[in-house]
Structure 1
């Protein structure tokens, strides 16, 4: 599992914040239940190389580079001896509320790693007004390459791992990220396995209500859903190249699993409501009951393992434009 935090603070936006007390509880839980906490680059290298990992393995990550990571989270992590990764958007470094490079270096000296979250934290999939495809390509490449250059300059670390700002990506963005040799990390839920999409790895967000201890305990004990194929369809049953749809759409998802019994146990949800599913052998077919509205949405699919009580988990993120194909809050 890869855990995602933003602020570790009581005075920041609740939806992206974990209180210092709750964060300390999370770390204590990992220690008490004998989890192996690995540095994210080490974890990903092990999976890509096919090496076996301890049964309960977690990587801890933070997005954006807020100074509460240093003030509140770092002392707790250092006490437990846990490595962690900070995804930095480099433009606000040294500004009020954000990390300084000196703080970054102090954390690196205690086992932290720094990775890429772009320069300016843009919505990567969105073109600016009157921006051509070529101009968009140049701008987004610069966001990644310039951020990486700054991180290498100040830290000496050069991990080709990108956390997508806002967790947003499409086939075009993934292709660009792949061309630059990066691994892509999202904000959709689920456990990571050898068969995961290396351009869209899931993480468990730990802000707001998602940080509750019962929810935390369930999520850090999850397993990657053993998938053989994923198909995305529009309401008419036509194949989608990625999970980007227009408002009003009711997309469909077909998951081909490794076993019929797992397919029978699988339940998918949209915004907390169960989606009706059709099971055919080891294949599960679900569709949105309600039309999607502009912004971000997702299907979460889980199945409980009867022997261990742990959950297999898969999340499909949908990125929804307006009915006209425009984005909310266009840059």
Structure 2
């Protein structure tokens, strides 16, 4: 499922799948594109790739054409800020807005798709960052604190479960839930 599905559940009462899982990949590493995309596509698993706009096209990170391929293959692109700072430590609202809003503008302009998901770098958020993510027009915000979403969960401070890099360990982890 996607973050849009989850937002629709929270905001409109839309039904969720029996075992709802959202797959995300952070930072925009080219290895995520090379290794995860074939697996996700083969099994028709949607995922959100959270990218740092200043990293796009640099060594080790995805390019704009690769991001277009992700979209074509049914993946979502979310923002992970412009330069991956600890947002809760930024006191200047202009700098904070640049990191949160302008990353969305850049992605939407280059990819010509709406970007509705934001992942806080390092999970670093506070009341000001959450309010800015809302004001920037995102539908959800994802941190990195371990946990799952419940009906009382604020969709702008969603928790995540960090999966191990080993798929066998990940499978065992999921099956234990």
User: Could you state the TM-score of these two structures normalised by the residue count of structure 1?
Assistant: 0.50
Output the CA distance in 2 between the equivalents of 1:51 and 1:79: 27
Mark the runs of 5 or more structure 1 residues left unpaired by the alignment.
1-37, 128-132, 222-331
Match of 2:124 in 1: 168
Counterpart check, 1:100 vs 2:63: yes
RMSD value, Cα: 2.0
Match of 1:216 in 2: 174
Contact 2:7 2:155 in 1 (8 A): no
Encode CA deviations 1:106-144: one digit per residue, 9 max, x unaligned: 1111101101111000111114xxxxx4xx100010111
Counterpart check, 1:45 vs 2:8: yes
Taking a change above 3 Å as real, the CA distance of residues 98 and 173 of structure 1, as seen in their structure-2 partners, is same
Output the CA distance in 1 between the equivalents of 2:4 and 2:14: 14
Mark the runs of 5 or more structure 2 residues left unpaired by the alignment.
none
Match of 2:41 in 1: 78
Contact 2:101 2:133 in 1 (8 A): no
> What stretches of structure 1 move > 3 A for 4+ residues in a row?
207-211
Encode CA deviations 1:21-55: one digit per residue, 9 max, x unaligned: xxxxxxxxxxxxxxxxx122233223321112122
Higher fraction of helix: 2
- SS of the aligned residue for 2:118 comes to strand
Aligned residues: 175
- TM-superposed CA distance for 1:103, in Å, is 0.9
Match of 1:91 in 2: 54
Higher relative contact order (CA 8 A, sep 6+): 2
- TM-superposed CA distance for 1:210, in Å, is 10
- TM-superposed CA distance for 1:58, in Å, is 1.2
Taking a change above 3 Å as real, the CA distance of residues 110 and 168 of structure 1, as seen in their structure-2 partners, is same
Output the CA distance in 2 between the equivalents of 1:106 and 1:208: 23
- Structure 1 or 2, whichever has the larger Rg, is 1
- TM-superposed CA distance for 1:209, in Å, is 8.2
User: Could you state the TM-score of these two structures normalised by the residue count of structure 2?
Assistant: 0.90
